[in-house]
């Protein structure tokens, strides 16, 4: 068994970190982050962590690279302060979309991030809803993936699903969406989506399944610029969907996402707080609903500390 459990937070998502520790009934660890005029970062842990079981919460949100480097420096500081075990808690994994070598002479950056975390001193990783499950294979240390599916399922089960259908945004998301459809006990459809370049814009060209007269629920792991969601909503409306709602885990909401989503004719957009959503963004998207992941992460941290199974939570 490890020593006392302590939880620290980087500067990326303090609201979520406070929610997690409040659920766990314990305070956040004390630390100080200093950013100098030359853009260097200094992290000082302001309490004793010797032989402690330490968890470090840091999500991936702008500025992404700064937050990643801050996390690495914090882990390194904890390691040399003699923490017994360090678990990096990453609600949204950095560079998660760079998970394969689909072009010549590029970096598989998600694998590089895994290597950096290990080099910095992380003994294990806890994350949620990876863009591709294969990222878990990049780690030589224990890594656990939580899924937001139970959180989103519980929310949509409060709605009338008598005429609903879950829609996968492309063939790659079909298995992921299929689990969600099974939990809701509704049929599933799949959009045939093609992406032709790096512009983050995709074109929906066909639909496998039936949505005519149905309440469609688009289900995906993340939403970036909103272009894919808008395109999916367009084809669903054209094929007779009565309503279009969206459930995604990670609200990246980059670029002109707010403008794109406001023109997408959505009835509801449901996301989690794995990435902070600014008050301005929430106000600009009146159909946005943000669900908390604090209890999910808090329970997972308690299980890891106590040596209990994480997979039981997903079951």
Structure tokens at 208: 């496998």
| Local structure of 25: helix, strand or coil | coil
Beta-strand relationship, 164-168 and 215-223: parallel
> What φ, ψ does residue 117 adopt, rounded to 5°?
-60, -45
Whether 141 is catalytic is no
* The 3-state secondary structure of 51-100, one letter per residue: CCEEEEECCCCCCHHHHHHHHHHHHHHHHHCCCCEEEEEECCCCCCCCCC
240's CB contacts (< 8 A; 6+ apart) are: 211, 212, 213, 214
Spatial separation of the C-alpha atoms in residues 1 and 4, rounded to whole Å: 10
- Cα dihedral 157/159/160/166 (nearest 10): -60
Beta strands in 130-262 (DSSP E): 143-146, 164-168, 188-195, 202-208, 215-223, 243-251
Of 26, 10, 89, 7, the residue nearest 296 (C-alpha): 89
Structure tokens at 204: 């929906």
Of 8, 84, 87, the residue nearest 45 (C-alpha): 8
Of 140, 122, 151, 133, the residue nearest 313 (C-alpha): 151
Annotated catalytic residue: which of 100, 101, 193, 289?
193
Cβ-count burial 248-261 (b if 16+ within 10 Å, e if not): bbbbbbeeebbebb
Spatial separation of the C-alpha atoms in residues 282 and 155, rounded to whole Å: 18
Cα dihedral sign, 189-281-96-22 = negative
Enumerate the active-site residues.
193
């Amino acid at each position: 068994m490890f020593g006392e459990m302590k939880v620290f937070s980087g500067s990326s998502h303090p609201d979520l970190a406070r929610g997690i520790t409040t659920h766990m009934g314990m305070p956040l660890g004390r630390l100080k982050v200093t950013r100098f005029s030359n853009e260097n970062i200094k992290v000082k842990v302001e309490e004793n962590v010797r032989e402690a079981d330490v968890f470090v919460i840091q999500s991936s949100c702008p500025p992404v690279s700064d937050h990643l480097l801050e996390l690495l420096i914090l882990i390194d500081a904890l390691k040399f302060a003699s923490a017994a075990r360090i678990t990096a808690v990453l609600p949204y994994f950095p560079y998660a979309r760079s998970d394969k070598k689909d072009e010549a002479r590029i970096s598989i950056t998600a694998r590089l991030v895994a290597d950096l975390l290990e080099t910095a001193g992380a003994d294990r990783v806890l994350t949620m809803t990876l863009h591709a499950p294969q990222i878990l294979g990049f780690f030589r240390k224990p890594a656990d993936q939580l899924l937001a599916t139970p959180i989103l399922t519980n929310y949509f089960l409060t709605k009338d699903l008598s005429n609903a259908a879950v829609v996968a945004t492309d063939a790659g998301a079909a298995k992921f969406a299929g689990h969600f459809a099974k939990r809701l006990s509704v049929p599933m459809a799949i959009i045939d989506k093609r992406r032709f370049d790096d512009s983050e814009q995709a074109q929906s060209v066909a639909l496998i399944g039936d949505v005519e007269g149905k309440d469609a629920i688009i289900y995906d792991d993340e939403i970036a610029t909103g272009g894919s969601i808008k395109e999916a909503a367009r084809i669903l409306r054209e094929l007779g969907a009565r309503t279009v709602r969206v459930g995604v885990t990670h609200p990246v909401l980059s670029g002109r996402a707010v403008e794109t989503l406001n023109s997408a004719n959505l009835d509801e957009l449901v996301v989690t707080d794995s990435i902070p959503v600014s008050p301005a963004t929430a106000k600009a998207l009146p159909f946005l609903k943000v669900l908390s992941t604090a209890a999910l992460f808090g329970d997972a941290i308690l299980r890891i500390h106590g040596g209990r199974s994480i997979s039981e939570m997903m079951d």
